[in-house]
């Protein structure tokens, strides 16, 4: 069963069947805007386009969870790789949900299906003798007593003219050159910073040179048939020109897919061998009939989306792997590659925390459709592009607000006016004395729109998403010009027949724009269809049953006369200069810089207040208060942020009924202190007493103690309830979470209040944004309640309130 609850789609004979993947985002960090536009957002636009064209389409993605980067992150956070993956998978999923990414399946490469599919592919290649064994020299750290995989080594890049001193063992982040760890100058172990030594170790290699003829035939044919982007062709040809070499596919690690071979049973597959196979294994999670998608090249077209640094693994390594099995795989038809999106003065960087990240975006007041629109108009299709705050402001204010939003609001607001001023929300009928074909201005508009629709489809079929968006927005500009030239407000008084034609044509253009822009800004489309009073799931389409688009080329015929529209309201809000200045300052530097800056600003404010002298009311100034008084009285109440809550993992050591209240339990809960805390909870009618025993819970520990029927409650257990409060469930941390550890909110840093001041309503203010999402994850806004062992969840309540 697919994630959206619908039966999984399978290829259909006689239809166009399209399988879409985007590069699997690595799970060890929060994705930034460059990651989002480079793979998942671009693929989402194409998937949505295919659906509104009536193609049988699935979009597969997931987190890439194996490899050194995960092990390294787990070391940093002092937990297991599995716990890291659980934590960041939830964060990735939250970010993509917020961005309205329409996956048919968003899975994980650490699933059992990945091991099964990966090992089967390996066995076939091994049987076909496309593998070789070789002894290679690898860096070994005597201090850590382990071979060091690529990413566990750092050093100076050997490339002349680069010599970046923090190059990784697999690739230099500065010049982009692929490396072997032994090539680095001055190598050091990333864990202990000691100099490793070279030692022999045996590994398995995929013999790319033996597969060269098959691979080149595939590349030559498919790069033309699939219209590969130029940057993909250039990168692939450069690999071929340099000569294919045997590629090592095993690593001396523990976290990965085990190699099913007796000699190599202590090794795992190299992440770049197993990660692309993740597309297949995640599809197998979507449907047991996954081979109908992946072993059906005659009926399925495979489109893959990624950033330029991933190209050779998808045009050389992955196809070679599949060709080596000798089976009839669905090989990639079209690859769409982006260059880099840079941030203000430099590069986005996950490792350095530079740029705007997915969780940052959710915390701004800028709506998702604005973010999607800006990233897609700025999509780095042929060269690097630059994200700047003033540019985002300009595109929002001029293109979305003044062009698109203005056109739609003018049309719908006029139709919604009461009779005598407008059409009382009813789409007018066109009288017999006028027609779209005979009215010169309207016919001219229709011809332009028809041409734009053809251009839009041509661009989107070739995965030129930026051009497709620009073309759609041109129709909005034509609509505004049409309204101005027609002067509909004057026609309403002077020529009602012609005014009816103009307004019915204009509202048809509104509908058309909503359809054309759905792949790019789907939340905008939903709102427009809401204002049109039409169910979007039925009406958003760019074709009829036969796949033709002729009906939308006659805009006056698109919507039926007599249909009553909904309530118009503005679709976009202006972004002001002071807001832009605020965001530029807020997101300047690295994430670490921002924390330091915020702490320094807070200290600066406190220091100023300590030194300030205040008037006694008679014009005289009182001396400055002592530093202790200043701390107690002068420092203002800090902002109400989620970090002020002290929520911990607790263990109920004993639970019993309240002696004087039938609806209350009294629990003794271990929250990591010397003594347990007594907590009174109103859960009797929702949770049986035996289910309350020895159970881990989330406990709010810094509420002011309160007496409940004679027993003082020293904390509060968090629980979720549905809308009518007929169902209540405990918010549960992972079973392996440590008792007493503080629950965190990734992206937010700060210490909790010792005790929440009830007069300031801190808990009451924050509680309204605590909820469970569609995946049963407990969240503050869109950020999951997170422990070192993973995220906190409930059993079955979706969209519930937490208190």
DSSP 494-562: H-HHHHHHHHHHHHHHHHHHHHHHTTT-HHHHHHHHHHHT--HHHH--SS-TTS--GGGGSGGGSS-TT
163 torsion bin: left (phi>0), alpha (psi -120 to 50), beta (else): left
- Report the number of distinct structural domains present in the chain: 4
CB 516 within 8 A of CB 373: no
pLDDT at 146: 85
SS3 327: coil
- DSSP line for 182-205: GGSEEEEETTT-PPPEEEEEEEEE
Shared-domain flag, residues 680 and 729: yes
Q: What is the distance between the alpha carbons of residues 549 and 46, in angstroms, rounded to a whole number?
A: 18
- Provide the CATH number for the domain around residue 657: 2.40.50.140
Q: How many CA atoms lie within 13 A of 695 on its CB side?
A: 18
Q: What is the distance between the alpha carbons of residues 563 and 542, in angstroms, rounded to a whole number?
A: 20
| CA-closest candidate to residue 184, choices 147, 245, 139, 238 | 139
Shared-domain flag, residues 438 and 347: no
pLDDT at 662: 83
pLDDT at 607: 57
58-88: per-residue pLDDT in tens?
A: 999 999 999 878 887 888 788 899 999 999 9
Q: What is the distance between the alpha carbons of residues 228 and 249, in angstroms, rounded to a whole number?
A: 27
Domain contains 588: yes
Query: Strand 696-700 relative to strand 647-658: parallel, antiparallel, unpaired?
Result: antiparallel
Q: How many CA atoms lie within 13 A of 533 on its CB side?
A: 15
pLDDT at 395: 94
Number of H helices, E strands in the chain: 26, 32
Shared-domain flag, residues 324 and 351: no
CB 249 within 8 A of CB 313: no
Contacts of 55 (CB under 8 A, 6+ apart): 15, 16, 17, 18
Shared-domain flag, residues 648 and 784: yes
| CA-closest candidate to residue 338, choices 323, 329, 348, 351 | 348
CB 790 within 8 A of CB 84: no
DSSP letter at 354 equals: B
Give the domain extent around 309.
Answer: 17-128+212-236+270-338
Q: Where does a domain end: 321, 338, 355?
A: 338
pLDDT at 778: 93
Q: Which helix (H) or strand (E) holds 303?
A: strand 300-307
Shared-domain flag, residues 655 and 798: yes
Backbone angles phi, psi at 162, to 5 degrees: -100, -75
Domain contains 186: no
pLDDT at 544: 66
| CA-closest candidate to residue 43, choices 64, 25, 66, 67 | 25
Strand partners, 135: 202
| CA-closest candidate to residue 396, choices 380, 372, 361 | 372
Tell whether pTM > 0.85: no
Neighbours of 659 (CB within 10 A): 10
- DSSP line for 456-476: HHHHHHTT-HHHHHHHHHHHH
Below-50 pLDDT ranges, the chain: 1, 613-635
| CA-closest candidate to residue 108, choices 88, 122, 94, 123 | 88
303-336: per-residue pLDDT in tens?
A: 999 998 899 999 999 999 999 999 999 999 999 9
SS3 709: coil
pLDDT at 370: 96
Shared-domain flag, residues 333 and 351: no
CB 236 within 8 A of CB 311: yes
- Provide the CATH number for the domain around residue 491: 1.10.730.10
Distances (CA, A) of 644 to 602, 649, 742, 752: 15, 16, 12, 4
Residue 803, burial from CB neighbour count under 10 angstroms (0-12, 13-18, 19+): middle
pLDDT at 634: 42
Domain contains 741: yes
Domain contains 133: no
Q: What is the distance between the alpha carbons of residues 283 and 19, in angstroms, rounded to a whole number?
A: 10
DSSP letter at 253 equals: -
CB 304 within 8 A of CB 332: yes
pLDDT at 404: 96
Neighbours of 419 (CB within 10 A): 9
Query: Strand 300-307 relative to strand 332-338: parallel, antiparallel, unpaired?
Result: parallel
pLDDT at 616: 44
Shared-domain flag, residues 727 and 793: yes
Domain contains 381: yes
């Amino acid at each position: 069963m697919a994630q959206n609850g619908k039966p999984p789609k399978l290829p259909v004979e006689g239809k166009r069947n399209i399988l879409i993947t985007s590069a699997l985002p690595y799970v060890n960090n929060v994705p930034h805007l460059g990651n989002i536009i480079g793979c998942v957002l671009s693929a989402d636009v194409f998937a949505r386009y295919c659906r509104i064209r009536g193609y049988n389409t699935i979009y597969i993605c997931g987190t890439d969870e194996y490899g050194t980067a995960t092990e390294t992150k787990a070391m940093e956070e002092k937990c297991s790789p599995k716990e890291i993956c659980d934590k960041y998978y939830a964060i990735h999923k939250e970010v993509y949900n917020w961005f309205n990414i329409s996956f048919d399946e968003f899975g994980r490469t650490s699933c059992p299906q990945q091991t099964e599919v990966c090992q089967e592919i390996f066995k076939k290649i091994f049987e076909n003798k496309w593998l070789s064994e070789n002894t290679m020299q690898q860096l070994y750290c005597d201090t850590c007593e382990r071979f060091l995989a690529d990413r566990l080594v750092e050093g100076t890049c050997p490339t002349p003219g680069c010599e970046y001193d923090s190059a990784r063992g697999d690739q230099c982040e500065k010049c982009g050159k692929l490396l072997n760890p032994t090539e680095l100058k001055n190598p050091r172990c990333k864990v202990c910073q000691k100099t490793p030594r070279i030692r022999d170790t045996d590994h398995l290699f995929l013999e790319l040179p033996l597969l060269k003829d098959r691979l080149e035939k595939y590349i030559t044919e498919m790069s033309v048939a699939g219209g590969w982007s130029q940057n993909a062709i250039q990168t692939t040809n450069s690999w071929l020109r340099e000569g294919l070499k045997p590629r090592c596919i095993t690593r001396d690690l523990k976290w990965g897919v085990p190699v099913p071979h007796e000699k190599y049973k202590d090794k795992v597959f190299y992440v770049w061998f197993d990660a692309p196979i993740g597309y297949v294994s995640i599809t197998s999670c979507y449907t047991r009939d996954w081979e109908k998608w992946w072993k059906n090249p005659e009926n399925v077209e495979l489109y893959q989306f990624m950033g330029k640094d991933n190209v050779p693994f998808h045009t050389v390594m992955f196809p070679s792997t599949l060709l080596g099995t000798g089976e009839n795989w669905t090989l990639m038809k079209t690859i769409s590659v982006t260059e880099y999106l840079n941030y203000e003065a430099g590069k986005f960087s996950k490792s350095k925390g530079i740029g705007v990240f997915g969780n940052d975006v959710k915390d701004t007041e800028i709506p998702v459709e604005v973010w999607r629109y800006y990233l897609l108009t700025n999509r780095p299709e042929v060269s690097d592009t630059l994200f700047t705050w003033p540019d985002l402001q300009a595109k929002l204010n001029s293109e979305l607000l003044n062009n698109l939003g203005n056109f739609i609001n003018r049309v719908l607001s006029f139709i919604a006016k009461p009779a005598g001023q407008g059409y009382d929300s009813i789409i007018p009928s066109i009288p017999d004395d006028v027609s779209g074909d005979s009215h010169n201005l309207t016919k001219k508009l229709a011809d332009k729109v028809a041409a734009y629709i053809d251009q839009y489809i041509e661009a989107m079929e070739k995965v030129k998403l930026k051009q497709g968006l620009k073309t759609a927005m041109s129709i909005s500009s034509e609509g505004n010009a049409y309204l101005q030239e027609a002067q509909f407000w004057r026609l309403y008084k002077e020529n009602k027949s012609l005014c009816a034609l103009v307004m019915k044509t204009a509202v048809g253009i509104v509908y058309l724009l909503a359809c054309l822009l759905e792949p790019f800004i789907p939340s905008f489309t939903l709102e427009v269809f809401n204002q049109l009073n039409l169910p979007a799931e039925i009406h958003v389409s760019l074709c009829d049953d036969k796949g033709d688009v002729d009906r939308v080329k006659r805009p006056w015929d698109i919507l039926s006369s007599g249909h009553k529209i909904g309530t118009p309201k503005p679709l976009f809000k202006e972004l002001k200069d002071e807001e832009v200045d605020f965001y530029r300052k807020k997101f300047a530097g690295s994430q670490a810089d921002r924390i330091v800056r915020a702490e320094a600003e807070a200290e600066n404010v406190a220091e100023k207040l300590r030194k300030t002298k205040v008037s006694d009311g008679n014009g005289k100034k009182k001396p400055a208060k002592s530093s202790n008084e200043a701390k107690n009285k002068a420092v203002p109440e800090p902002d109400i942020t989620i970090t002020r809550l002290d929520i911990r993992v607790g263990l109920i050591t004993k639970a019993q009924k309240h002696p004087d209240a039938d609806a209350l339990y009294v629990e003794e809960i271990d929250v990591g202190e010397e003594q347990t805390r007594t907590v009174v909870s109103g859960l009797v009618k929702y949770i049986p007493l035996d289910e309350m025993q020895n159970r881990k819970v989330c406990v709010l520990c810094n509420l002011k103690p309160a007496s409940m029927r004679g027993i003082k409650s020293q904390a509060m257990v968090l629980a979720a309830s549905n809308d009518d409060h007929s169902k209540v469930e405990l918010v549960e941390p992972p079973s392996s979470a440590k008792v007493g550890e503080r629950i965190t909110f990734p992206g937010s840093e700060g210490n909790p209040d010792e005790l929440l001041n009830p007069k300031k309503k801190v808990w009451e203010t924050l509680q309204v944004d605590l909820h469970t999402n569609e995946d049963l994850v407990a969240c503050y806004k869109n950020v999951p309640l997170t422990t070192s062992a993973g995220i906190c969840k409930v059993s079955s309540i979706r969209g519930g309130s937490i208190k």
